[in-house]
A and B are shown apart, each in its own frame.
Chain A
Amino acid sequence: MLVLVEQSLNGLQFGLLLFLLAAGLTLVFGIMDFVNLAHGSLYMMGAYFAATFVAWTNSFVLGILMALGATLLLGIALEFVALRHLYGRDHLDQVLATFGLILFFNDAVRLIWGPAGLSLPLPAWLTVPVQIVPGVFYPAYRLSIIAVALAVAALLYVVVMKTRIGMLIRAGASNREMIGALGINIKLLFTLVFGLGAALAGLAGLMQAPILTVQIGMGENILILAFVIIVIGGIGSIRGAFMAAIFVGLIDTLGRAFLPDLLRTVLSSAAASTAAPALSSMLIYLLMAIVLVVRPEGLFPAAKR
């Protein structure tokens, strides 16, 4: 029972992290009709920036804030220099160009930081276990990830649904030409949205950094998970991304935790321990296949354009 609570929290935490990544991806796709494979690279850069700045400043919070700003600036610069020339092009062109960027970022990181991974040590006040219910302890850092991600999700909701900028973003998602014709500086809006997406990816990366090693290619596997999420949730829908992210986070984590034991009840022990790792990695892809068969547009499709 205790294990179940803990693993569910882990799943929730992972799901929220995935949401930050998927939200940026789906925002950029929904509004700019732009497929950005390099989104995972921004996630990686966020983690590398955090590890570097925290080491420089000797302050966890300051370092992380600087890393967030740096990823935001990097995203804006990227949009300004290269990606804005790809809007309105074929999706395939965008996939290829941003694939090139992944290659570039991976080698740039190897050149600057070296091939070995970095680690981002946590400050002491974040390592204490917190008693959430009597008898159940949970690491404070993971709890704070949940809190920060929920706060960001709420903030995103308020910004998109209640503010003028959010109104423009939603208007841009439903008809780009029209809001351009109404005198809105659409180029600026796109740059802002892209920067926002980059910052969200960076935030996900730097929050994940203390849990995993900061290493080259860390953005790629998680990027594919983010894709799975926006396909399940419906491309362009932030609400869908949120639901699907939590769902995928829980299924992936719980599957890895409990599938081996579950399989052992039906299969022989040896067969179960061979099949379980592969099967639990496959679970979410199976889920996606099922969703696509039943609802090819995803579970919460954005309004038709």
Chain B
Amino acid sequence: MKSPINARNVVVALTALGLLLLPAYSALSGNIFILTLFTRIVIFALAAASLNLIMGYGGMMSFGHAAYLGIGGYAVGILAYEGIGSGFIQWPVALAVSALYALVIGALSLRTRGVYFIMITLAFAQMAYYVTSGLSRYGGDDGLTIYKRSNFGGIIDLSNRVQFYYLCLACLFGGIYLIWRIVNSRFGMVVQGVRSNEQRMQAIGFHANRFKLVCFVISGTICGLAGALLANNTDFISPATMYWTRSGDLMVMVILGGMGSLFGPVIGTIVFLVLEEVLSQFTEYWALIMGPLLLLIVLFARGGIMGVLGRVTRD
């Protein structure tokens, strides 16, 4: 019988508690910046968690996940620009368009394996990037300013910093709960089975690609939600949101935290973005340190932070 108290669970519990109490700390210390930073972190954590669903559990290495951030964001931005400010319309549209995009590129990309899959998802994301760059009505390359955040009637006010933070946090925890339920369902078991041995699952009679595609679509939809949140957070959406280095960042967040662990992407996102923030205060050339650091993590810390924590407990 494994004890539930180990290094990993303690870190997860403390992180979750910290995220919940953060606005209180921000209000007490008067540090508004930390709330802004963590709103961004929570949104990216949701995107990273959705990527983890296909990468960690489904074995699908998508290098184009930032496309959904952009699509979700543009859905909100374009509807707001056209005068439809209601979040009850904007958000479902954002999710639906993300899901549709995931369905189409998933159906095409899943015909390939391995490094081909990495590259084709990358290429499709670039394609989405160019499409949005060409939308001259909506700002083209320069992006689109969103003058009014999504309006949810009197239920919640997105312009209120604390309310918006808790909305993002609720989405993150909801997303992780959903992923947890998926991973432990029969469906999730099949997907993980396909990751370990596709031929065997095929032989037992599962239509492997169909399961992978559904998983891919779910992941894209969750990331589309993150995109809608992100657009509301920055009041702005531009093609740069879906530039390929952003997809790379998301992958780094997942791997850094620990691929295939439920809470790993959240830890990874916090470490990555806080590190970026801290380093860029020291020096303008933060990537000069971040790049080699990444190399070292890949070389020496397999399984990411969660993996290292797991080993600490076992030894």
A contacts, CB < 8 Å to B = 29, 35, 82, 85-86, 89, 91-93, 95-97, 99-108, 110-111, 220, 224, 227-228, 230-231, 235, 274-275, 277-279, 281-282, 285-286, 288-289, 292-293, 296
**Chain A residues closer than 8 Å to B298, beta-carbon distance:** 86, 89, 93, 96-97, 100
**Contact partner, B127, options A96, A110, A235, A282, Cβ 8 Å:** A282
For residue B295, CB closer than 8 A to chain A, the reply is yes
Check if B116 sits within 8 Å of A101, measured CB to CB.
Answer: no
Number of A-B contacts (CB under 8 A): 127
Closest CB in chain A relative to B108 CB, distance in Å: 6
Q: How far does the alpha carbon of A100 sit from the alpha carbon of B296 in the complex, in Å?
A: 9
Q: How far does the alpha carbon of A282 sit from the alpha carbon of B126 in the complex, in Å?
A: 9
**Chain A residues closer than 8 Å to B63, beta-carbon distance:** 95
Interface hub of A95, A224, A279 (most chain B Cβ within 10 A): A95
Q: How far does the alpha carbon of A277 sit from the alpha carbon of B129 in the complex, in Å?
A: 12
Check if B291 sits within 8 Å of A104, measured CB to CB.
Answer: yes
Chain A to chain B contacts (Cβ below 8 Å), 15 pairs:
A86-B299, A92-B255, A95-B118, A97-B295, A97-B299, A100-B298, A102-B291, A104-B288, A105-B291, A281-B134, A282-B130, A282-B131, A285-B130, A292-B109, A292-B120
Please classify the interface of chain B as helix (H, G, I), strand (E, B), loop, or mixed, using the class held by over half of its residues: helix
Q: How far does the alpha carbon of A278 sit from the alpha carbon of B128 in the complex, in Å?
A: 10
Sorting the interface of chain B by its residue count into under 10, 10 to 19, 20 to 34 or 35 or more gives 35 or more
**Contact partner, B120, options A86, A110, A282, A288, Cβ 8 Å:** A288
For residue B312, CB closer than 8 A to chain A, the reply is no
Contact A281/B133 with A104-B291, A231-B123, A289-B108 known, Cβ cut-off 8 Å: yes
Closest CB in chain A relative to B209 CB, distance in Å: 12
Check if A224 sits within 8 Å of B292, measured CB to CB.
Answer: no
**Chain B residues closer than 8 Å to A224, beta-carbon distance:** 122-123, 126, 244
Task: With A99-B252, A100-B291 given, name 8 new contacts (CB 8 A).
Answer: A96-B251, A97-B299, A100-B290, A101-B291, A101-B295, A235-B115, A277-B133, A278-B133
**Chain B residues closer than 8 Å to A101, beta-carbon distance:** 291, 295
Q: How far does the alpha carbon of A29 sit from the alpha carbon of B119 in the complex, in Å?
A: 13
Contact with A along B52-66 (1 / 0, CB 8 A): 000100000101000
**Chain B residues closer than 8 Å to A107, beta-carbon distance:** 285-288, 291
Please classify the interface of chain A as helix (H, G, I), strand (E, B), loop, or mixed, using the class held by over half of its residues: helix
Contact A96/B291 with A274-B136, A285-B127 known, Cβ cut-off 8 Å: no
Check if B116 sits within 8 Å of A96, measured CB to CB.
Answer: no
**Contact partner, A91, options B118, B136, B292, B293, Cβ 8 Å:** B118
Contact with A along B221-252 (1 / 0, CB 8 A): 00000000000000000000000110010011
**Contact partner, B295, options A29, A100, A286, Cβ 8 Å:** A100
Closest CB in chain B relative to A298 CB, distance in Å: 8
Check if B111 sits within 8 Å of A289, measured CB to CB.
Answer: no
